[in-house]
Amino acid sequence: MEHLWALGSGDVKSVHAALKARRITVNTIQSTLRRLYDKELLRRDKISHAHVYSPRLTRQEYQRQVLAEVVGDVLRGEADAALSAFVDLAAEVDEAHLRRLEQLIAERRGRSGGAA
Partner 1 sequence: MNGSPLALWLGVAALLAAAVVAITIAIAWPRMQARLMQVAPARRARLSTAMCLAPLAAGVALVLACLLPSLYAALWPALDHCTHHADEHLHLCLAHPPTAALGLAGALVGAGALALVLLRGAPGLVRLLRAQGLLARLHDASSAGPGDVRSVDTDAAFSFAGGALRPTIFLSRGLQARLSAPELAAVLAHERAHVRRRDVLRRHVARLGALLHGPGTARALLSALELACEQACDEEAAAALGDRVQVAQAIVAVARLAPRPPPALAATTAGFTAEALTQRVTALLATPTPELAASRWHLLAAAALVLLAPALHHATETVLSLLARP
Q: Which residues bind partner 1 (CB under 8 A)?
A: 63, 66-68, 70-71, 73-94, 97-98, 101-102, 104-105, 108-109, 112
H/E stretch holding 79 reads none
Task: State the amino acid at position 107 in one-letter form.
Answer: E
Least spacing, CB of residue 21 vs partner 1, in Å: 23
Least spacing, CB of residue 37 vs partner 1, in Å: 22
Nearer to partner 1, 47 or 82 (CB): 82
- Among 59, 48, 50, 56, which residue's Cα sits nearest to residue 29? 50
Least spacing, CB of residue 80 vs partner 1, in Å: 7
Nearer to partner 1, 13 or 76 (CB): 76
Least spacing, CB of residue 18 vs partner 1, in Å: 22
Distance (Å, whole) CA 83 – CA 103: 30
- Among 33, 23, 31, which residue's Cα sits nearest to residue 3? 33
Under 8 Å between Cβ of 1 and 63: no
